Structure 1
Amino acid sequence: MTPASTPIALGSDHAGIGLKATLRSALEAAGHPVLDLGTHGPESVDYPDFALAVCGAVLEGTARFGVLVCGTGIGISMAANRNEGIRCALVHDATGARLTRQHNDANVLALGARMIGAEVALDALNVFLTTPYEGGRHDRRVLKLSPGWSPSP
C-alpha cells in the first residue's frame, strides 16, 4: 500500500457499508489514517452525497486517494467523475486496479459490494494503493481528462 501516513478517504451508501468497514479495517491495520466520510448505518441514503464528500477530500489534498463503495459501484463512480480533477475507476479485480493507476492515474477507486467479494476488493485496494502512474505515453491521454482541456481547433 502507499506509505502508511497517507490518508485515504472512504465513502459508501447503505449497500456498501459492510465492504467499506472491511476496507477500513485493512487500511487501519496497515497504519493508514482513514477519513470515513459515511454513511454509517443501514438507512437508505443517496450515493452522490458520499461521492462528493470523498472527492472533495481528494481535491482539497486532505486525502491522497479516495475509495467509494455502493451496490454495483456504477452509480457512485458516475457521481465521482462529475467532479473536475477526479479520475474514478470502477474495478472488479486487481488487474483493473493496476491498469487504472498505471495508465489513467486514477485517484479514486470504486467498488461494487454486490459484485465482488471482500478478498477481491482487498486485493484491488492493495494494488490500487501500491501501483504508481507510468506517465510517458499516457500523459497526453490523462491531460485530456483534466479540467480545462479542449481539443485544438
Structure 2
Amino acid sequence: MSEEQVHCVQCDAPLKTPDSVCTFCEEQLANEAKTELLTGRYVCPACNLKFSKPEQLPYPATAKWYQLQLPKACCPHCKCFFSSKYLKFYKTAFALLYSLSFLRGVYGLPNIYFFTGFFAVNAVLLAILGVIWYREFKNPDRYILDKRI
C-alpha cells in the first residue's frame, strides 16, 4: 500500500499525518479568534471584552412555563445581563411630559398657556434626548451590570 501525501486544505502545505494541523494556519486562526474578542463598539462591564451587539436572552432563564419571560440584553461572551446607563433619564423625561398633561387637566389651564409651555418643554426635552441618544450611540461604556439580577 502506498501512502499519499496529505495537504492542508487552506494553504496546501504538506502535512505529516492526516490528523495533524498546519502550524501556519493554526496561528492565523488563533489570531483571528483573538481579534474577534477585541473588536466591537461596546465593552462588557463584567469580562471587559468588546462586542458589536448584545445578545437578547429570555429572562428569567429558569422560569416556569406559565411565567412571562422577556428578552434582556446580555454579553455574548460571558452571558451576564446588563442594562443601559441612559434608560433612567428616558423614563424621567416621559414622566415629565405625562405630568404636564395631568396638571393641565387638574388646574384647567387655558389652551394658549398650556400649548405654549407644552411645546417649549417638548422642544427642550427632545433636544436633550437627541444629545443623549447621540452620546449613547457613541459611548463604548454604554452598558452597566444589572444589579437587580
- Under a length normalisation based on structure 1, what TM-score does the superposition of the two structures give? 0.20
Greater C-alpha radius of gyration: 2
- Under a length normalisation based on structure 2, what TM-score does the superposition of the two structures give? 0.20
